[in-house]
């Protein structure tokens, strides 16, 4: 590939991806490389992406972002997990928390003991053994590791405000922002590398490394380099979303709601000043007009905006790093938003890029390593999301019937078989979701293991029941001692007032 040292990085696009990349690059290697970001106000951003996972906290720490300032600037609230409602059948709910569930031993993870205790009649619901779940469901929250408890949490944030906040962080550190519409991407005729971006006003922006953050348009990685896209619609068949903002009708819940409907699901994301809502659906099973009616009938609170339609195709770019272009954000692919993983993927992508940065020139080995790591992680996330759809019990609804009988990736099929036969779950190398996550969702979606480890049997009903009861009591007591989420938010970010 090119031996030319990378001295100038050009970021195309200024949504959450563009500004996250700009902030991380300038903070960490800004003394070595010049960083330019081109964005077009006329085109705007996708405007959704408001629910995060705990990676955001670690990433902010890495950048030295002050949590209080960030929460205030982005009207953020705190998130302890996701409440999945109606995914198995109507009126059934389970919670996927960011915390640990129960206590595992070196020999057997917690679910084995819980399953034994349940068979013996001495276990409560799985939710009793997670502090994050108990806090979420009772509307409690406290940040930090203060008295009594330390919760694993993430944020709900205003997507537009977040981009502006990161811009405010990156520009003073030295990122140059250029406003303009990219009309053309020029390639070097010999190497096929990107040589420059040409703006509609004629300005030419040259660079050594180009980061494609142009969203679904993928102007560089696809428009210019024709990298190709792997379509995963046969597994993840929702392809449209309607997004709408509403007034809050009560205190902000410290969790995202994902409520299944006949052809997809609905999100509810509480912020300080409003609630983000959306309907995700399969256009083969629900028309846009019916989707609008369904969304309008289900939102709580006055609508502050008109429903906005977003089309997407779940899948991945064949390579995120191609020649001297790295696609980050929606340009690199999109796995639908059920587990709020896209912003995480952006943060991990730029972290990975920093670790493998081609200071001395783009080379194939670095690109291949980056692509391998990215794909492994994405496939794990893909499988985890397919799991929710595949293990549904909503018989008689064509969308859900199809999800239940569809062929699934071998990697997921073997994981489900392992859990069904033996209650064993695992987190593979470079995989995002921990054992706790797999267990909460597999059990939550109604997957009943045929057998489990005998450790619980060896412990015996009396001791096992006693230890589970005391664990649950301890968690109840800890959750009970936490402040209400809304009260904590009001004190943490003084402008925060419930707007309902």
Site for ligand FAD, rule CB under 6 A:
13-18, 38-40, 43-46, 48-52, 159, 181-182, 213-215, 217, 219, 241, 278, 310, 312, 329-331, 337, 340, 342-343
- 14: annotated binding-site residue? yes
In the complex, what is the shortest distance from the CB of residue 422 to ligand FAD, in angstroms, rounded to a whole number? Answer: 33
* Residue of 27, 79, 181, 247 marked catalytic: 79
Decide: 8 and 206 in contact? Cβ < 8 Å: yes
- 15: annotated binding-site residue? yes
- The residues, ordered by sequence, that sit 6+ positions from 355 with a Cβ below 8 Å of its Cβ are none
Name the residue nearer to ligand FAD (CB basis): 344 or 452.
344
Query: Which DSSP state fits 332?
Result: G
- 276: annotated binding-site residue? no
Name the residue nearer to ligand FAD (CB basis): 95 or 267.
267
Name the residue nearer to ligand FAD (CB basis): 120 or 284.
284
- The residues, ordered by sequence, that sit 6+ positions from 156 with a Cβ below 8 Å of its Cβ are 50, 51, 52, 76, 77, 78, 79, 252, 256, 269, 270, 271, 276
- Full DSSP string of 154-196: EEE--HHHHHHHHHHHHHHHTPEEEE--EEEEEE-TTT--EEE
Name the residue nearer to ligand FAD (CB basis): 214 or 486.
214
In the complex, what is the shortest distance from the CB of residue 254 to ligand FAD, in angstroms, rounded to a whole number? Answer: 15
Map tokens 């790295």 to a residue: 326
Name the residue nearer to ligand FAD (CB basis): 142 or 317.
317
- 242: annotated binding-site residue? no
68 Rama class: left (phi>0) / alpha (psi -120 to 50) / beta? alpha
Query: Which DSSP state fits 337?
Result: G
Q: What is the SS3 assignment for 299?
A: coil
**Measured distance CA(350)–CA(471) in Å, rounded:** 39
- 47: annotated binding-site residue? no
Name the residue nearer to ligand FAD (CB basis): 333 or 456.
333
- 338: annotated binding-site residue? no
Closest CA to 42 of 181, 241, 238: 181
Calculate the alpha carbon distances from 272 to 251, 275, 310, 317 in Å: 9, 8, 24, 35
Name the residue nearer to ligand FAD (CB basis): 128 or 383.
383
In the complex, what is the shortest distance from the CB of residue 59 to ligand FAD, in angstroms, rounded to a whole number? Answer: 12
In the complex, what is the shortest distance from the CB of residue 307 to ligand FAD, in angstroms, rounded to a whole number? Answer: 12
- Full DSSP string of 29-52: HTTTSEEEEEE-TTT-------B-
Any catalytic annotation for residue 79?
Answer: yes
Decide: 233 and 277 in contact? Cβ < 8 Å: no
- 202: annotated binding-site residue? no
**Measured distance CA(455)–CA(436) in Å, rounded:** 18
Name the residue nearer to ligand FAD (CB basis): 59 or 114.
59
Q: Are strands 325-327 and 209-212 parallel, antiparallel or unpaired?
A: parallel
In the complex, what is the shortest distance from the CB of residue 169 to ligand FAD, in angstroms, rounded to a whole number? Answer: 16
Calculate the alpha carbon distances from 310 to 244, 271, 288, 339 in Å: 11, 21, 11, 18
Phi, psi dihedrals of residue 259, rounded to the nearest 5°: -110, 120
Calculate the alpha carbon distances from 340 to 37, 48, 287, 324 in Å: 26, 11, 25, 29
Calculate Rg over the CA atoms of the chain: 23
In the complex, what is the shortest distance from the CB of residue 47 to ligand FAD, in angstroms, rounded to a whole number? Answer: 7
In the complex, what is the shortest distance from the CB of residue 20 to ligand FAD, in angstroms, rounded to a whole number? Answer: 8
In the complex, what is the shortest distance from the CB of residue 376 to ligand FAD, in angstroms, rounded to a whole number? Answer: 19
408, 411, 413, 415: CA torsion to nearest 10: -140
- 79: annotated binding-site residue? yes
Binding-site annotation, residues for FAD: 14-17, 330, 343
Binding-site annotation, residues for L-tryptophan: 339
Binding-site annotation, residues for 7-chloro-L-tryptophan: 79
Binding-site annotation, residues: 14-17, 79, 330, 339, 343
Catalytic annotation, residues: 79
């Amino acid at each position: 590939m090119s031996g030319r040292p990378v001295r100038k990085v050009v970021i195309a696009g200024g949504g959450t991806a563009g500004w996250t990349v700009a902030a991380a690059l300038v903070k960490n290697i800004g003394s070595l490389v010049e960083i330019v970001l081109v964005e077009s106000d006329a085109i705007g951003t996708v405007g959704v992406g408001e629910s995060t996972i705990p990676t955001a906290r670690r990433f902010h720490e890495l950048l030295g972002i002050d949590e209080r300032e960030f929460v205030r600037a982005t009207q953020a609230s705190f998130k302890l997990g996701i409440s999945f409602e109606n995914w198995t059948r109507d009126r059934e709910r389970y919670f996927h928390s960011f915390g640990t569930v129960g206590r595992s031993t070196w020999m057997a993870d917690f679910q084995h003991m819980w399953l034994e205790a349940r068979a013996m009649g001495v276990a409560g619901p799985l939710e009793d053994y997670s502090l994050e779940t108990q806090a979420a469901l009772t509307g409690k929250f406290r940040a930090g590791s203060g008295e009594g408890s330390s919760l694993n949490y993430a944020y709900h944030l205003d997507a537009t405000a977040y981009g502006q906040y990161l811009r405010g962080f990156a520009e003073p550190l030295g990122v140059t922002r250029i406003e303009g519409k990219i009309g053309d991407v020029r390639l070097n005729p010999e190497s096929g590398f990107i040589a420059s971006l040409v703006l509609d006003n004629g300005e030419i922006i040259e660079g050594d490394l180009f980061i494609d953050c142009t969203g679904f348009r993928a102007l560089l990685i696809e428009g210019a380099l024709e990298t190709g896209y792997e379509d995963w619609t046969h597994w993840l068949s929702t392809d449209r979303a309607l997004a709408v903002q509403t007034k809050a009708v009560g205190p902000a819940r410290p969790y995202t709601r994902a409520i299944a409907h006949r052809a997809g699901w609905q999100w509810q994301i509480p912020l300080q000043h409003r609630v983000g809502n959306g309907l995700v659906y399969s256009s083969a099973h629900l028309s846009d007009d019916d989707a609008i009616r369904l969304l309008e009938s289900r939102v709580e609170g006055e609508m502050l905006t008109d429903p906005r339609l977003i089309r997407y195709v779940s899948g991945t770019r064949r390579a995120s790093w191609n020649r001297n272009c790295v696609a980050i954000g929606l340009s690199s692919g999109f796995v639908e938003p059920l587990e709020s993983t896209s912003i995480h993927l952006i943060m991990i992508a730029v972290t990975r890029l920093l670790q493998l940065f081609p200071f001395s020139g783009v080379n194939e080995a670095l690109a291949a390593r980056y692509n391998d790591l990215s794909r492994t992680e994405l496939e794990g996330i893909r499988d985890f999301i397919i799991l929710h759809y595949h293990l549904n019990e909503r018989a008689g609804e064509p969308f859900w019937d199809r999800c239940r009988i569809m062929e699934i990736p071998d990697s997921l099929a073997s994981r489900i078989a392992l859990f069904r036969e033996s209650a064993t779950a695992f987190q593979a190398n470079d995989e995002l979701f921990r054992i706790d996550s797999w267990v909460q969702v597999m059990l939550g979606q109604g997957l009943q293991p045929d057998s489990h480890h005998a450790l619980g049997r060896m412990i015996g009903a009396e001791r096992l029941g006693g230890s589970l009861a005391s664990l649950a009591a301890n968690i109840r007591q800890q959750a009970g001692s936490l402040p209400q989420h809304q009260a904590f938010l009001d004190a943490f970010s003084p402008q925060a007032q419930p707007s309902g």
